[in-house]
Amino acid sequence: MKNIIYNDGGRKESGRKGSAGDCGVRAMAIALGLDYDTCYKELAEANKDAGYKKSARNGLMKEVFQNVLKKHGWTWRKAPTFPGRKAYASDLPQGTYICRMSRHYAAIIDGVLHDTFNSSGKMVYGYWAKDNIK
């Protein structure tokens, strides 16, 4: 994938410093067009309600993330399949998605990866898309 935009989803703007495992928060903020703090609070509460001790800054379980995205009208889709190779973010059609990769979530908007590093080499297991997207 050649098109990559550095995007922290508004994390720095929210006043947060340092590094964190908050890729789910960032991806959600970017793809859904919400501010970082709103996403952080919603995901942290969902994590807590599910009984996980981790905060939203230290990673999210797929089930927790999926339940929150479902409330926003997003559904899970399997990654495309290709003979002899795995799927990558660049294989997704035009649209806005949140990809689930190996230990990472990232936003893709019309073929452009929005992330804090070049995660384009990570295999995509699947992605969430707004319900009206095929």
Per-residue model confidence as pLDDT tens digits over 31-78? 999 999 999 999 999 988 888 776 777 778 889 999 999 999 999 999
The number of distinct structural domains making up the chain is: 1
CA angle (10, 12, 18) in 5-degree steps: 135
Range of the domain at 94: 4-130
CA distance 55 to 36: 14
Q: Largest Cα–Cα distance of the chain, in whole Å? A: 45
pTM score of the predicted model: 0.91
